[in-house]
Chains A and B, each alone.
Chain A
Amino acid sequence: MVLIQAEKIRKDYQAGEVSIAALKEVSFEIEPASFVSFVGPSGSGKTTLLNLIGCLDRPTGGKLIVADTDTAALDRKQSAAFRGNNIGFIFQDFNLIPVLTVYENIEYPLLMVQNTPVEERKTRVAALLAAVGMSEQKDKYPDQISGGQKQRVAVARALVTNPKLVLADEPTANLDHTTAYMVIDLMKKMRDEFKTTFIFSTHDQKIVKEAEIIYSLEDGELMDRQVQGGKNNG
């Protein structure tokens, strides 16, 4: 069983009359409940790849199947609905909504995207708050909590809809090492608890070692695949 199947996906950007290949026929497969990292230097195509997997962008060529859905076939509205139901996002800058409290930020996808009934919403938000250790801060606004706490809230927000997949683009880039490890540990713990696939990009070699499967990208090409900690993705 495969959660993500990428076959020779390409992504070209047009810069004036010049076409720049950000991804060059990249192929891979990712199983459910994996903890995967894409590594590589700046400009290697990590973010582009995560954007394609997250249906935020479309490949120029190739085939990308995510959760049994051909992402290229989705229109704008279908993409939004697909993301809302299947994918959670964790951003480098946390991207919490400043006018909403910690509780409301976590609740947002259930309320505004999935329209979940109130009782179920309360249960799930409370569970996630407890899981990320933010129950005490639930009524605080994002500008009243630290960067590490913000990222924990972002993790909770990404998981609250029970997505099949969580994408995190450089989730630790704005955190100190201690906090960064805490966030990665939290993500792992959430993967174990919710059986959600986590894919994150990073260029921090120490953080990379925490991943179970590591894909190395360079100049838009997949250069290497390493499996760590005894888990083999085939």
Chain B
Amino acid sequence: MGNLFKIAVRNLLRYKRRTLLTASLITIGVIFVLVFMSVSGSFKNMMIGQITDSMLGHAQVHRTGYVASIDNLPLNLNLTEGAAKRVGAVLDDRPEIAAWSPRIKFGGMFSNFAETTNIRLNGVIPEKEFAVVPLLTSRIIEGEKEMKRGAILIPELLAKGMKVKVGDVVVIVATNKDGSVNGKQFKVGGILQSVTGPGGRDGYIHFDDAVEVLRMEEPEVSEFAIRLKKFDGLHVFTAALDVRLAQELNKDGKPVFEVHTWEQLSPFYNIARMIDVMTFFIKLMLIAIVLISIMNVMIMAVYERIREIGTIAAIGTLPETILGMFVIEGFCLGIVGAVIGNIVGAVLVSIINISRITFNFGMQQGLVLQATVRPADLFIISITVIIVSVIASLQPAFKASRMEPIEALRHV
């Protein structure tokens, strides 16, 4: 095998310019894919991080049917105190969970005594909520970065539109589950920057205030937001939690609870998917580049060395050895392209990080791009390039191995 490598490498060096061009093409392809994957992956991760760490959490538990009607914020699909306690107990038992937070979500009217508009409110227990969505405090652009009873955090655009400042008194009016209306005065404790741009109408009040506004006899919960210790284990965790919670059935024999990942709750998941699709097509382009360039160079190599092939076949070289010689040439080209491409790609990603390139996401300004090269990506790119290189050289190599020595020797 070592001798096959020696001959293959010498044959590659024999046509230095062609080998250099082909290896360069593969290298450029690898660099392009690696940098694209790193940058787009970084953008995707930051986008997901903004959404999960500012609003949604990594996963949520609801009563079955709640998410299907979530636009209406249906109070009649809240979890009762007993059900909420049972869910809380299950969540407490899961070692993967870093924090969880119960929320009461409801729609209400927001009044500054002069004007009235609608608002979506989240009743939360501050310390639990801040643990699940740690970026929430950084979204408070005015006021204290805390949430006291009687205070309300309102979205920036709502505050501007209603000409409300921190410290102003406002009224929240809401209809409870029974259809009766109740109102309560709140002091504006802070102004929230929107994550997703115009249209954000989510405000925050204390959990107990929400119970009071909705005149709940016992505290109910609309959803549990969950933050995991390791985001990568999200799907394994939600599958396991789903199985655990599915043990509790309603009168119709259907599960009482349902578990959703952030992907099922946010339209931004489609952007993340688009990035994945783009990355997939970029990888396809790399495969095409490697396939075409290696196949081209190997076809040329076979054509130029027909008499040599005839000679080695005549003196007794077995067809599989001839096949191996050419496949190893393609393999070596792939290895060179992959190794140099990975090294240069990693250096470029480092330069991008040092350059501190910023971008905006929604209302978030100046987010610093932090591209990372994952070892798994390096491995996958390298293996892909090497496998495609071998596949691309198979056809010319097979042709060489099947040549009749007598015809090959006659070739001029």
- Do chains A and B interact in one complex? yes
Given contacts A51-B406, A56-B406, A112-B312, contact A80 B317 (CB under 8 A): yes
Within 8 A of A (CB), among B305-346: 307-308, 310-319, 321
Within 8 A of A (CB), among B26-46: none
The answer to whether B14 touches A84, judged by C-beta atoms less than 8 angstroms apart, is no
B11 proximal to A (CB < 8 A)? yes
The answer to whether A157 touches B315, judged by C-beta atoms less than 8 angstroms apart, is yes
A98 proximal to B (CB < 8 A)? yes
A108 proximal to B (CB < 8 A)? yes
Chain A residues, Cβ within 8 Å of B316: 80-85, 87, 109, 113-114, 161
A198 to chain B, nearest CB (A): 16
**Which 7 A/B pairs are nearest by Cβ-Cβ distance?**
A84-B316, A99-B10, A113-B316, A95-B311, A56-B406, A83-B316, A57-B406
The answer to whether B311 touches A80, judged by C-beta atoms less than 8 angstroms apart, is no
Of all chain A residues, the one with the shortest Cβ separation from B307 is A95
B409 proximal to A (CB < 8 A)? yes
The answer to whether B7 touches A99, judged by C-beta atoms less than 8 angstroms apart, is yes
Q: Chain B, interface size: which category? A: 20 to 34
A181 proximal to B (CB < 8 A)? no
A6 proximal to B (CB < 8 A)? no
The contact of B315 among A57, A77, A84, by CB within 8 Å, is A84
Q: What would 19 more interface pairs be, CB under 8 Å, given A51-B406, A80-B317? A: A56-B314, A56-B406, A76-B319, A80-B316, A81-B316, A81-B318, A83-B316, A89-B315, A91-B311, A93-B307, A95-B308, A95-B310, A97-B311, A98-B14, A98-B308, A99-B10, A99-B13, A112-B321, A113-B317
User: Mask for A153-169, Cβ within 8 A of B = 1, else 0?
Assistant: 00001100100000000
A-B contact pairs, 22 of them (CB 8 A): A56-B404, A56-B406, A56-B409, A80-B313, A80-B319, A81-B316, A81-B318, A82-B316, A83-B314, A83-B315, A87-B316, A91-B311, A95-B409, A99-B10, A99-B11, A99-B13, A108-B312, A108-B315, A109-B315, A112-B3, A113-B315, A161-B316
CB within 8 Å: A-B pair count: 70
A54 proximal to B (CB < 8 A)? yes
The answer to whether B312 touches A99, judged by C-beta atoms less than 8 angstroms apart, is no
B399 to chain A, nearest CB (A): 15
B405 proximal to A (CB < 8 A)? yes
Given contacts A83-B315, A84-B317, A113-B317, contact A56 B14 (CB under 8 A): no
The contact of A88 among B11, B308, B315, B317, by CB within 8 Å, is B315
With the chains together, A157 CA to B314 CA distance in Å?
Answer: 12
B interface residue numbers (CB < 8 A to A): 3, 7, 10-11, 13-14, 307-308, 310-319, 321, 404-406, 409
Of all chain B residues, the one with the shortest Cβ separation from A85 is B316
Chain B residues, Cβ within 8 Å of A109: 315-316
B221 to chain A, nearest CB (A): 75
With the chains together, A207 CA to B308 CA distance in Å?
Answer: 27
A145 proximal to B (CB < 8 A)? no
Given contacts A95-B307, A97-B308, A99-B10, contact A56 B315 (CB under 8 A): no
Of all chain A residues, the one with the shortest Cβ separation from B9 is A99
The contact of A77 among B7, B11, B307, B318, by CB within 8 Å, is B318
Chain A residues, Cβ within 8 Å of B10: 99-100
Chain A residues, Cβ within 8 Å of B315: 83-84, 88-89, 108-109, 113, 157-158
Chain B residues, Cβ within 8 Å of A158: 315
A223 proximal to B (CB < 8 A)? no
A125 to chain B, nearest CB (A): 14
Of all chain B residues, the one with the shortest Cβ separation from A95 is B311
With the chains together, A52 CA to B7 CA distance in Å?
Answer: 30
Of all chain A residues, the one with the shortest Cβ separation from B11 is A99
With the chains together, A97 CA to B314 CA distance in Å?
Answer: 13
The answer to whether A100 touches B7, judged by C-beta atoms less than 8 angstroms apart, is yes
The contact of A56 among B11, B321, B405, by CB within 8 Å, is B405
Of all chain A residues, the one with the shortest Cβ separation from B2 is A111
Q: Which of B3, B11, B315, B406 has the most chain A CB within a 10 Å cutoff?
A: B315
Chain B residues, Cβ within 8 Å of A93: 307
A47 to chain B, nearest CB (A): 9
Chain A residues, Cβ within 8 Å of B318: 77, 80-81, 84, 113
Of all chain B residues, the one with the shortest Cβ separation from A158 is B315
